[in-house]
Structure 1
């Protein structure tokens, strides 16, 4: 179950303390695109561009990691000026490792932000990357993802219980 638990769980990408992560030694942030940075199939907009500029201003290198095709990922990556990995086959470690090689960082310097437990979080944890789960932006998703969301609720129940227990033990 621990492979499915995120290291951090936040409402959205804007709720994450990136400066705090940088101060803790993180130098790269990897992102899922659909339902993490924007809704499914939506192009990058000015808020996405400003968000990535802010991350670079802090000192981060970024990379997009998507299971989607290059036709979807490339235009988004070009707009936000970030390298990318398409058809990453998450939860496979391969895409995460490739991104770290590309950005020339170690797993201990890398965080990943995504909205799905069974692809994003499991893959990040397997790759030794600090995993951050955010709530999906939109409830409108493909049927296979909707079905996985029911299972994710069970994992989140146990995750929240484990976090509460940890906080009570401190």
Structure 2
């Protein structure tokens, strides 16, 4: 079950303290796109562009990792000026490790931000990368994802219990 637990759980990408993470030695951030950075299928907008610029200003390298096709991922990546991996086959760790190589960083310097436990978080944890779970931006999703969300609620229930126990120590 621990492979399904994120290292950190936040409301959205804007709720994460990136300066603190940088001060802790992280130098690269890998992102899922759909329902993490924007709604499913949407183009990058001004807030996405500014967000990625602010990460680069801190000193972070970024890479997008998506299970989607290149025609979806490439235009978004171009707009935010980030390298990308499409058809990453998450939760396979191959895409995560490929991103680390592209960015020329170590696992210990890398973190991943995504909205799905059974693909994003499990894959990052399996690859040995610090994982951050964010709430999905929109409830409108494909049926197979909607079904997984019910199982994710169970995992999050146990994650929150574990976190409460950890805080009490």
Q: Deviations over 1:33-59 (max 9, x none)?
A: 000000000000000000000000000
Q: Deviations over 1:22-80 (max 9, x none)?
A: 00000000000000000000000000000000000000000000000000000000000
Distance 1:106 1:88 in 2: 19
The structural deviation recorded for 1:21 is: 0.3
Q: Where does residue 80 of structure 1 map in the other structure?
A: 80
Secondary structure of residue in 2 paired with 1:6: coil
Q: Where does residue 140 of structure 2 map in the other structure?
A: 140
Q: Where does residue 55 of structure 2 map in the other structure?
A: 55
Q: Where does residue 158 of structure 2 map in the other structure?
A: 158
Q: Where does residue 46 of structure 2 map in the other structure?
A: 46
Q: Where does residue 124 of structure 1 map in the other structure?
A: 124
Show structure 1 runs of 5+ residues with no match.
none
Let me know the Cα RMSD of the aligned residues.
Answer: 0.2
Distance 1:36 1:163 in 2: 22
Count of aligned positions: 169
Distance 2:6 2:44 in 1: 26
Using structure 2 for the length normalisation, give the TM-score.
1.00
Using structure 1 for the length normalisation, give the TM-score.
0.99
The structural deviation recorded for 1:104 is: 0.3
Q: Where does residue 25 of structure 2 map in the other structure?
A: 25
